[in-house]
Structure 1
């Protein structure tokens, strides 16, 4: 659930929610996930410069904390403004803010993981109702045509021939696709497109780093990120508080943007590998169905010596300190069923008083015999 918080005054978050927040002056303090993930330290290494992230969702409102990073997008369903910059649900704006909000200076306003990345807003799902797979497919096709680096999908549901083809084309086009694993109790297993082996499937953890009860578990889960009490931007200059794998997905997409910015020559498959290989292991040793490979570690993902995919430890040679071992130059600073019946497309995160719940899921497979990364400090 999520509540809308005005930019200057707090409002009640509703039953079961935490105390109200006083808008732009306090939202940064409420964003606990920034401290948990050591975002300030990561920003000394990368802030997402030169990277664009497509957000096919309920549209993205031009929030003051996000406006400078908002591109002109598209609506793939009737009733929008035509450029993706209209959101009466709050979900899309919240996801975009988690990825690339730049705040207002002096530590005020919301901050995203990649505050210098650009957001391509794509309105694919009407507020308070299910979207159609082909509307999402059109949004993914548009993102491909615009040459984005990342596609962040905080929703899940059935597929169609067109959608499955679009996701496959995005992967083949060297785009990292991140998607939400799904939310309990509505979902009992990882949803599409996170269920694809070439998509990064994202689950969630709570404030203590434990598996979030709302997060679906399954063999497709690749990584986890904060998914509880997540504060971000909303429509009309307000702020939202939510929970679910939607927010975790957007956070993971922001992490991918940081990696793609720092290592601009790294192919999408190696970007995903770097994210999973440097994750902090949780639960049983190694990959498991609740945490995947673990919680994202931004600093490690930006500094670790990560042998490339399929490169055995016996033949790996250590690079110079501070140099990524994957072949890229560092910049400063279940496969979908194409014949499935078309049913509704449901976002998986939950925003209190903000509208429908939505989620992003994504996953990447790392070979169990790949050597662990070595961190260069």
Structure 2
């Protein structure tokens, strides 16, 4: 920025900003003429306007931190980040990519309008904030609930919900409560997904497997069952487990894990299963949809083969359901 005599130092302006984000009125207070502020925010200028009266002193798309900073300046001191941006900051990694538009909550009495980059929701149910990295967020259950109401893909909803529950950030019960108290808008598919997750389904691929199993004619397996050897050592958690024949159906693959070390642990688990004599049927997630007939035939044959084999010296326990833990609430099944 070219500096005229008597104009403020650019370094002083940046020092007054938060990650390059600053109120237009603050710039004026620091000595920048108001006409200059808005001229620099025009197309092709060195700055840009992220919200009414909120300036980013840089070009290009704002970073998630810059967008969050601008949203909180726009929404006021009681504003919270929610939806997918809050989910990501809570540590949820599965699900859809971050959208360009940030979802935020403000008290119902505030009159704050949405912008191209910020969807502002006025609410009478403003939760207490959870601060992560200096940013006030809606608690995990509220953030996930707000996010899934705006999603259309069942797979995206399943990945988001299951990752939040699997990481211990919230329970099915808490999500059920949020969906109930937030009204029915956009809650139908998330409620159905919660029933799958409460039964032990922890990914969209496992949800596909459950729907495919329903066409198999086989007994219902235990989903995400803990399998132990005769001495009580944990061999691993089977995605699906038929205890009557000791058959493990494994759906996970590298594409469905968060990091290479997760894939390595999965391979080690399969090796322990094999060493203990457990029958294992591995299936790639993409085949559940693309080659469902073949997978069904393989599943039935694997079950028959396991039934004809001597039972290995292993034992398993089903995953405790949320309802057994006082989790699922009645309205979820409505």
TM range (shorter): under 0.3
| More helix, by proportion | 2
Larger Rg belongs to: 2
Higher relative contact order (CA 8 A, sep 6+): 1
Task: Report the TM-score, using the length of structure 2 for normalisation.
Answer: 0.26
